[in-house]
């Protein structure tokens, strides 16, 4: 299995599928790994693209480092991956926490290798409620998540999968397989990495990173997202990026790569190939 080694010695696992077509790099949500994108990677590879998906440090098959479980390091690890594979004209796609990772990558490394961005149910610009971000979510939301992680993370992942992550608590018809895969991937994440990543995705301020984005950006968000409410995430992110297009999936929740797969794939391909 392929790995790239970053500056501090951590090994970052990645999948590299498809042809020599234009590359698409897929960044996953918390506490998942590259497997969360495998259906999308297969779809893109079958449609002429090179699909690359990595496990963020601490997640899946990558090194479970004690340090570096925050956005700057995640972004620098992603930069090493793009440099190692010498990827150019890249479309960066990020779901949830992965959206923060790719936006912070642009903020720290620019867009010399990047031609487009896609944010799917993504955490930017800032999830946490602060004095200058009064529309965010209260810190008690994330403290409860941290408490659940510390108390019994196996049960937390089951509760998230059976509830707000897929919107199963709304419709009751989300496939058991999706929910099982969430739990399985979550348990493959290091405990410290998962705990620290809650602060990374909730308290990192991406507003300056978004204003630095100078490539076309597609923002896709469900208007019934119970994890990153659209008024906290997608709508505000689209306002901060100069060349952004916002697609609102009516009645859809957070896990769009699974629950709205066909629609998302069609929108991705249309945007990438435009």
DSSP labels, 90-101: EEEEEETHHHHH
Active-site annotation holder among 27, 63, 254, 267: 254
Task: Count how many Cα atoms sit within 13 Å of the Cα of residue 251 in the half-sphere of its side chain.
Answer: 3
Per DSSP, the three-state class of 187 is helix
Alpha carbons 153 and 80: distance in angstroms, whole number:
31
Closest CA to 12 of 258, 210, 193, 146: 193
Catalytic annotation on 254? yes
Query: Catalytic site residue 265?
Result: no
In angstroms, the CA 203 to CA 104 distance is: 13
Give the active site residue among 55, 77, 225, 258: 225
Question: Which residue among the candidates 22, 62, 96, 252 is catalytic per the annotation?
Answer: 96
Asked whether 236 and 137 are in contact (CB, 8 A), the reply is: no
Q: Is 54 a catalytic residue?
A: no
Q: Which residue has tokens 């979510």?
A: 137
Q: Which residues are catalytic?
A: 96, 225, 254
């Amino acid at each position: 299995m392929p790995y790239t080694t970053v500056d501090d010695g951590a090994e970052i696992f990645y999948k590299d599928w498809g042809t020599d077509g234009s590359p698409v790099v897929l960044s996953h949500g918390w506490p998942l790994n590259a497997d969360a994108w495998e259906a999308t990677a297969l779809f893109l590879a079958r449609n002429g693209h090179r699909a690359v998906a990595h496990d963020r440090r601490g997640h899946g098959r990558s090194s479970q480092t004690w340090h570096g479980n925050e956005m700057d390091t995640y972004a620098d690890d992603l930069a090493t991956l793009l440099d190692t594979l010498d990827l150019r004209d890249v479309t960066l796609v990020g779901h949830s926490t992965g959206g923060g990772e790719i936006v912070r990558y642009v903020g720290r490394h620019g867009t010399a290798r990047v031609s487009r961005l896609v944010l799917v149910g993504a955490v930017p610009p800032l999830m946490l409620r602060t004095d200058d971000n009064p529309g965010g979510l209260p810190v008690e939301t994330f403290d409860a998540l941290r408490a659940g992680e510390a108390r019994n993370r196996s049960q937390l992942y089951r509760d998230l999968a059976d509830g707000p992550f897929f919107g199963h608590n709304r419709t009751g018809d989300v496939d058991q397989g999706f929910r099982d895969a969430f739990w399985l991937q979550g348990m493959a994440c290091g405990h410290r990495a998962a705990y620290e990543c809650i602060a990374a995705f909730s308290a990192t301020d991406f507003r300056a990173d978004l204003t630095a984005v100078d490539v076309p950006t597609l923002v896709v968000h469900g208007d019934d997202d119970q994890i990153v409410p659209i008024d906290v995430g997608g709508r505000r992110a689209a306002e901060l990026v100069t060349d952004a297009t916002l697609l609102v999936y009516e009645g859809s929740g957070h896990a769009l790569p699974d629950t709205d797969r066909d629609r998302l794939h069609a929108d991705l391909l249309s945007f990438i190939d435009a």
